[in-house]
């Protein structure tokens, strides 16, 4: 730790920590970040840049870091693109710089830098456009290898994550001087306060400064404040917590890193991170400010860093940025960084100030310490390869260009400061308007949309005294607005910090050659490798909108959202367009402020907890029989029941044959069941269904289609009339909740005068479908008191009685074409009924069948499945189901739409059967149909909706929607699966027992 | 995340609700409605910048429908009122028809 100061800093020198970075071993102290530990070891080179693979180092000391991105850890716990400036050091930490192959020090792809002309602004759109085949085979793989930052872990995440919801009167974001003052004021007023801060301890910028508050060291004052806040019962402080999203109605989200700083010593059973969903009465944003880099030639060379970052490394981490630093600034405040380095015993080789006549209060002290001052000068070049070794300082001449008066100054670090940008990201997310202040060249919070106030440096008050006073006032006001206190701020702590002083905005320092000429790069966006020349090129190519320039050049589009880049980029664009910054406008910040792990967003809602799994009463029986399950909505339904040695085709064929030849049994419990009661139940159903239900006799069942008022089919099912004012509706499995909502919506919003109750009873009744010529024999054995002959129990009727000793409702309906009974018993009797039926059916060769066999059987019979044969643009007429559309009812949902011209077109897609000329070919569902083979593009005439190998027919069958298909029966068309064209014939959409002779057994 | 003040259950997060689109679109008498007017009823919705009358349903709660006036710029919910009640006075728009 050659660059570690002998004393000072806020690190724990009693705890030495070992870590590995880019394969090399280092030591640091507890309290270090990865970045500060590297700097203490003299390592600035961390990684390679995104596009040109230029060597990159540590630019900042915080969340705004664009370039020192690392891949932390290994295996399942590895995490990409973390900012080394925010990774807290722990013993055994392992990390590598991103984007470097094989290593940051010896990068294989750095030669791309020599081909930089290939990567101008908009290179995505230009260089690689032609020929197309080159893109797939050459450019894309190469670019993917070289660009693209870190690697995602490939194994499942072994950590757990939690979510918390919290309500507070006042949320204070940021635990610097302004935020602490606000939280103290609001807390003392009695409000429920939540204070969140991304660092390990409160203090914010104070931790990197040498100033005093109330006579105490800034960090000590912050610690005392934290202790005071801890005594307030209604105040909660969350450190290591980043408020990353500000949404509507003061809903905010924060990510708390609970164990990341412990590395492998994280206690087992503690969630690694916690996602906080916060609902705040008032929000105080005390998010501070980010120092703005200066844009100068080769300003991305490792060793070049923000002045305030160097100052923080010295004061907070007792780490010098190097042997010899040069400060480059356009403002007075940055002199403090040079001053602190000198005070700490470091060497500052020069101060370069671009202003012609600066009057920084600290200039005399620096001069006295022997630091030369170059005023009206810029850094026109940096030299070195993987670390800056010297800079060329040029006196500015007339017109702002470099004069011939130039000096070479040896240094290994450059501290650059272009002033400060208020961190208005969260305010912008909250839909607050930003206002540009010309004098300091900054965006300030303007008109707020939500109950929020911005305070301190985030509001442009860069002085410590101002932060403390503004924060306290804001906290008191917020508490008062939430109903606590009278809005009077508590006494303001005193401080010894100087005012921030003067600044002259300076956007682009000239190099030795004109910008964009020669090899030097004026880097604006360090993460995306966007230069000033790129932005100027975009302007020359006609881009005017800042949103377009952003996308074309990719400035600000990295994981850092351009925290250090955006304002510089905008000002350079405005200059190139000859406009002012406000005229060019600003892009909107969006969540997240810094990246959030997917693990935290998912929380515990992973694996089996991701979505509720619904199981029927017979589920365990199916499992024991080795059923393969199919997810249908949230249900798991048996798909087929393979016997040993059977594949799915064999199992389904066997199950189909059992139903056609003997008897099969299906768990139909998942079908939606809605109990509909009330004097107006019949009126409601007459409006909801295309056919009439008021005419249905008690004890009878009718199949119905439901349409929207646009005339399109959206559900089907059978409905039984159980009493004069009592119906039981069934719906498709996946649509049950939707249909119930559909009924409720009409009842509540359009026909509130109807007296009807609708109740979901899906999970009250277990349902077993018993289908096949032997179904009656099996049921008779279990229901001796029930008359089952066709006259007593005709097709489409319902009976109540006792089956297998339990109360049951039995429906004589059929979805297979065979004689069929659907037996409903109370849910908890489902398994009992199922096993009784299996036992009674054993002698008849009963076989359980799954949803796949059900689909085959119904398709053979030409029964549709809504959502498969329909797609939201299908009318009953398209399905050939005119028979179910009432001609008598004056009104029902859908009716009006069918007199529209469009729904009467002859060339609408209509349901037909499709038989491939080769009976062995089973077309994939979704296959497009064309009139004749040929070279694409070909006009599409329809598509296959259902397709199976039919055991009953001994060949393949398919249903399809074909334009004008009903008039084309017998014609040959061609299916176009990926394998080539398949000739087939259009047929009736019924393949089996079209007379319905088998339904009575 | 919006917070919506259900008239039956009180303030609840948006995720508990179903959005029901523009309010005050009464189903016209089909026989007395020409194709253009029927299409208008089915498909055409206003999209104001400002106060918008819309329907919500508290799906994960009481499952009741109600109307709300929401400012589409600020997302402020400025009024909640029952189904069937006329649109309350709010700046920028005329009263509804239902
Ligand atoms: Zn409610």
Q: Last residue of a domain, which of A715, A733, A763?
A: A763
User: Do residue A107 and residue A227 come from a single domain?
Assistant: no
**pLDDT at residue A143, as a whole number:** 60
Q: How many Cβ atoms sit within 10 Å of the Cβ of residue A385?
A: 12
CATH number at residue A982: 2.40.30.110
**pLDDT at residue B95, as a whole number:** 41
Alpha helices (runs of H) in A422-463, residue ranges in sequence order = 425-429
Best mutation target among A277, A429, A448, A896 (most B Cβ atoms within 10 Å) is A896
Q: Give domain status of residue A780, yes or no.
A: yes
Listed residue (A857, A803, A811) closest to A834, CA to CA: A803
Task: Please give, rounded to a whole number of angstroms, the shortest distance from the CA of B96 to a CA of chain A.
Answer: 15
The domain of A786 spans 619-670+764-857
Domain ranges within chain B, ordered by starting residue: 3-82
Task: Write the CB contacts of A614 (distance below 8 Å, at least 6 apart in sequence).
Answer: A633, A634, A635, A636, A670
Q: Could you give the 3-state DSSP secondary structure of residue A806?
A: strand
Distance CA A372, CA A482 (A): 54
User: Do residue A769 and residue A652 come from a single domain?
Assistant: yes
Distance CA B82, CA A556 (A): 46
User: What separation in Å is there between the alpha carbon of B7 and the centre of ligand 1?
Assistant: 7
Distance CA B63, CA A660 (A): 44
Across the range B40-44, mean pLDDT stands at 95
User: Do residue A936 and residue A802 come from a single domain?
Assistant: no
Q: Give domain status of residue A989, yes or no.
A: yes
Q: Which of B38, B59, B83 sits opposite A896 (nearest CB)?
A: B38
Q: Give domain status of residue A186, yes or no.
A: yes
Q: How many Cβ atoms sit within 10 Å of the Cβ of residue A644?
A: 5
Q: Give domain status of residue A397, yes or no.
A: no
Determine, for residues B27 and A709 on separate chains, whether the beta-carbon distance falls below 8 Å.
yes
User: Do residue A844 and residue A989 come from a single domain?
Assistant: no
Summarised one tens digit per residue, pLDDT across range A918-927 is 999 999 999 9
Please list every residue in chain B whose beta carbon sits closer than 8 Å to the beta carbon of residue A709. Answer: 27, 41-42
User: What separation in Å is there between the alpha carbon of B23 and the centre of ligand 1?
Assistant: 18
CATH number at residue A715: 3.30.70.1400
Position B98 pLDDT exceeds 90:
no
Determine, for residues B38 and A449 on separate chains, whether the beta-carbon distance falls below 8 Å.
no
Segments of chain A with pLDDT less than 70: 100-120, 122-148
Query: What is the rounded (10 degree) CA torsion for A557, A559, A565, A570?
Result: 30
User: Do residue A914 and residue A984 come from a single domain?
Assistant: yes
Structural domain tally of chain A? 5
Task: Please give, rounded to a whole number of angstroms, the shortest distance from the CA of A251 to a CA of chain B.
Answer: 6
Summarised one tens digit per residue, pLDDT across range B70-94 is 999 999 999 999 999 999 986 544 4
User: What separation in Å is there between the alpha carbon of B1 and the centre of ligand 1?
Assistant: 17
**pLDDT at residue A427, as a whole number:** 98
CATH number at residue A109: 3.10.20.440
Q: Give domain status of residue A229, yes or no.
A: yes
The answer to whether domain B3-82 has CATH 3.30.428.10 is no
User: Do residue A260 and residue A168 come from a single domain?
Assistant: yes
User: Do residue A786 and residue A806 come from a single domain?
Assistant: yes
Q: Last residue of a domain, which of A127, A145, A170?
A: A127
**pLDDT at residue A317, as a whole number:** 98
Task: Please give, rounded to a whole number of angstroms, the shortest distance from the CA of A248 to a CA of chain B.
Answer: 5
Q: Are strands A235-238 and A955-963 parallel, antiparallel or unpaired?
A: unpaired
User: Do residue A755 and residue A780 come from a single domain?
Assistant: no
User: Under the phi-then-psi rule, with left for phi > 0, alpha for psi from -120 to 50, and beta for the rest, what region is A783?
Assistant: beta
First to last CA, chain A: 90
Contact A688, A706 (CB under 8 A): yes
**pLDDT at residue A150, as a whole number:** 83
User: What separation in Å is there between the alpha carbon of A212 and the centre of ligand 1?
Assistant: 53
**pLDDT at residue A114, as a whole number:** 53
User: What separation in Å is there between the alpha carbon of B75 and the centre of ligand 1?
Assistant: 20
Determine, for residues A741 and B57 on separate chains, whether the beta-carbon distance falls below 8 Å.
yes
Determine, for residues B38 and A900 on separate chains, whether the beta-carbon distance falls below 8 Å.
yes
User: What separation in Å is there between the alpha carbon of A633 and the centre of ligand 1?
Assistant: 25
User: Do residue A696 and residue A739 come from a single domain?
Assistant: yes
Determine, for residues B35 and A748 on separate chains, whether the beta-carbon distance falls below 8 Å.
no
User: Do residue A174 and residue A252 come from a single domain?
Assistant: yes
Distance CA A106, CA A595 (A): 28
Distance CA A194, CA A252 (A): 12
Q: How many Cβ atoms sit within 10 Å of the Cβ of residue A905?
A: 11
Distance CA A614, CA A634 (A): 6
Please list every residue in chain A whose beta carbon sits closer than 8 Å to the beta carbon of residue B63. Answer: 744
CATH number at residue A215: 3.50.50.60
**pLDDT at residue A103, as a whole number:** 66
Determine, for residues B42 and A710 on separate chains, whether the beta-carbon distance falls below 8 Å.
yes
Alpha helices (runs of H) in A785-891, residue ranges in sequence order = 830-841, 851-860
**pLDDT at residue A1001, as a whole number:** 85
């Amino acid at each position: 730790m050659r660059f570690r100061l002998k004393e000072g800093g806020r690190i724990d020198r009693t705890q030495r920590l070992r870590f590995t970075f880019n394969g090399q071993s280092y030591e640091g102290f507890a309290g270090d970040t990865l970045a500060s530990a590297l700097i203490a070891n003299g390592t600035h080179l961390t990684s390679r840049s995104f596009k040109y693979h230029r060597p990159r180092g540590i630019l900042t000391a915080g969340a705004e870091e664009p370039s020192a991105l690392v891949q932390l850890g290994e295996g399942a716990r590895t995490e990409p693109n973390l900012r080394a400036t925010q990774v807290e050091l722990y013993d055994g930490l392992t990390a590598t710089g991103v984007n470097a192959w094989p290593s940051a020090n010896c990068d294989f792809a750095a030669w791309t830098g020599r081909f930089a002309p290939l990567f101008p602004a908009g290179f995505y759109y230009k260089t690689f456009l032609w020929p197309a085949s080159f893109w797939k085979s050459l450019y894309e793989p190469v670019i993917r290898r070289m660009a693209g930052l870190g690697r995602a872990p490939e194994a499942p995440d072994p950590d757990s994550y939690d979510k918390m919801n919290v309500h507070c009167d006042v949320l204070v974001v940021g635990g610097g001087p302004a935020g602490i003052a606000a939280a103290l004021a609001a807390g003392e007023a009695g409000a429920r306060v939540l204070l969140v801060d991304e660092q390990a301890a409160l203090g914010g910028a104070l931790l990197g400064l040498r100033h005093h508050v109330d006579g105490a060291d800034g960090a000590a004052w912050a610690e005392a404040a934290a202790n005071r806040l801890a005594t307030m019962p209604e105040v909660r402080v969350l450190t290591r917590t980043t408020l990353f999203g500000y949404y509507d109605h003061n809903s905010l989200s924060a990510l708390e890193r609970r164990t990341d700083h412990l590395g492998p010593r994280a206690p087992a059973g503690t969630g690694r991170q916690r996602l906080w969903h916060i609902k705040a009465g008032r929000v105080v944003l005390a998010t501070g400010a980010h120092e703005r880099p200066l844009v100068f030639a080769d300003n991305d060379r490792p060793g070049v860093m923000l002045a305030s970052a160097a100052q923080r490394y010295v004061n907070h981490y007792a780490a010098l940025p190097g042997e010899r630093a040069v400060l480059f600034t356009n403002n007075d405040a940055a002199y403090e960084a040079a001053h602190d380095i000198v005070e700490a015993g470091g060497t500052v080789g020069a101060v370069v100030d671009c202003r012609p006549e600066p009057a920084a209060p600290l200039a005399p002290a620096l001069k006295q310490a022997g630091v030369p001052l170059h005023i009206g000068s810029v850094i026109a070049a940096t030299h070195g390869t993987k670390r800056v070794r010297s800079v060329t300082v040029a006196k500015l001449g007339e017109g702002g260009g470099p004069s011939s008066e130039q000096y070479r100054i040896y240094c290994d670090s450059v501290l650059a400061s272009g002033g400060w940008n208020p961190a208005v990201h969260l305010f912008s997310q909250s839909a607050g308007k930003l206002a540009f202040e010309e004098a300091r060249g900054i965006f300030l919070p303007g008109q707020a949309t939500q109950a929020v106030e911005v305070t301190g440096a985030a509001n442009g008050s860069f002085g410590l005294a101002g932060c403390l006073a503004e924060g306290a006032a804001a906290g008191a006001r917020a508490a008062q607005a939430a109903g606590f206190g009278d809005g009077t701020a508590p006494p303001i702590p005193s401080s010894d910090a100087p005012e921030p002083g003067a600044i002259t905005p300076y956007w682009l320092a000239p190099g030795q050659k004109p910008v964009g000429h020669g090899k030097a790069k004026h880097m604006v966006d360090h993460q995306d490798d966007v230069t000033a020349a790129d932005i100027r090129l975009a302007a020359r190519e006609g881009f005017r909108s800042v949103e377009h320039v952003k996308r074309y050049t990719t400035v600000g589009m990295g994981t850092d959202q351009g925290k250090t880049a955006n304002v510089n980029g905008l000002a350079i664009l405005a200059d190139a367009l000859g406009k002012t910054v406000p005229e060019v406008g600003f892009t909107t910040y969006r969540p997240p402020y810094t990246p959030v792990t997917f693990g935290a967003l998912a929380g515990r809602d992973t694996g089996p907890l991701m979505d509720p799994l619904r199981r029927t009463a017979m589920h365990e029986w199916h499992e024991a029989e080795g059923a393969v399950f199919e997810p249908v909505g949230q249900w798991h339904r048996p798909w087929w029941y393979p016997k040993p040695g059977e594949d799915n085709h064999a199992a389904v064929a066997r199950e189909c044959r059992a139903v056609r030849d003997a008897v099969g049994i299906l768990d139909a419990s998942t079908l939606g069941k809605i109990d509909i009661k009330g004097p107006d139940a019949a009126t409601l159903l007459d409006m909801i269904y295309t056919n009439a239900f008021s005419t249905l006799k008690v004890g009878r069942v009718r199949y119905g289609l439901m349409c929207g008022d646009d005339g399109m089919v959206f559900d089907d099912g059978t409905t039984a009339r159980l009493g004069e004012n009592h119906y039981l509706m069934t719906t498709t499995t996946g649509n049950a909740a939707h249909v119930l909502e559909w009924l409720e919506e009409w009842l509540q919003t359009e026909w509130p005068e109807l007296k009807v109750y609708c109740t979901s009873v899906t999970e009250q009744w277990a349902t077993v479908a018993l289908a096949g010529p032997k179904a009656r024999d099996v049921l008779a054995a279990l229901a001796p008191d029930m008359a089952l002959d066709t006259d007593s129990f005709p097709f489409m009727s319902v009976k109540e009685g006792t089956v297998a000793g339990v109360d049951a409702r039995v429906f004589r309906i059929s979805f297979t074409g065979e004689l069929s009974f659907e037996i409903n018993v109370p849910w908890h009797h489902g398994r009992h009924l199922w096993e009784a039926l299996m036992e009674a059916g054993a002698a008849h060769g009963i076989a359980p069948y799954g949803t796949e066999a059900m689909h085959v059987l119904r398709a053979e019979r030409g029964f549709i499945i809504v959502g498969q044969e329909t797609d939201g643009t299908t009318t009953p007429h398209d399905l050939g189901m005119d028979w179910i559309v009432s001609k008598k009812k004056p009104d029902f949902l859908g009716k009006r739409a069918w007199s529209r011209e469009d729904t009467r077109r002859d060339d609408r897609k209509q349901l037909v059967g499709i038989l491939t000329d080769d009976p062995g070919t089973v077309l994939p569902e979704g296959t497009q149909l064309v009139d004749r083979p040929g070279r694409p593009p070909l006009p599409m005439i329809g598509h296959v909706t259902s397709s199976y190998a039919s055991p009953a027919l001994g060949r393949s069958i398919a249903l399809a929607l074909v334009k004008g298909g009903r008039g084309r029966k017998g014609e040959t068309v061609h299916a176009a699966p990926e394998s080539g064209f398949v000739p087939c014939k259009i047929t009736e959409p019924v393949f089996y027992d079209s007379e319905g002779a088998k339904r009575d057994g | 995340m919006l917070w919506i003040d259900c008239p039956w259950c009180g303030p609840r997060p948006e995720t508990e609700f179903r959005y029901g689109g523009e309010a005050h679109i009464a189903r016209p008498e089909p026989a007395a409605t020409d194709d253009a007017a029927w299409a208008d009823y089915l498909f055409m919705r206003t999209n104001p910048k400002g106060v918008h009358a819309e329907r919500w349903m508290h799906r994960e709660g009481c499952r009741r429908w109600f109307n709300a006036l929401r400012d589409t710029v600020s997302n402020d919910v400025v009024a909640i009122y029952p189904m069937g009640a006329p649109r309350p006075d709010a700046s920028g728009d005329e009263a509804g028809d239902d």
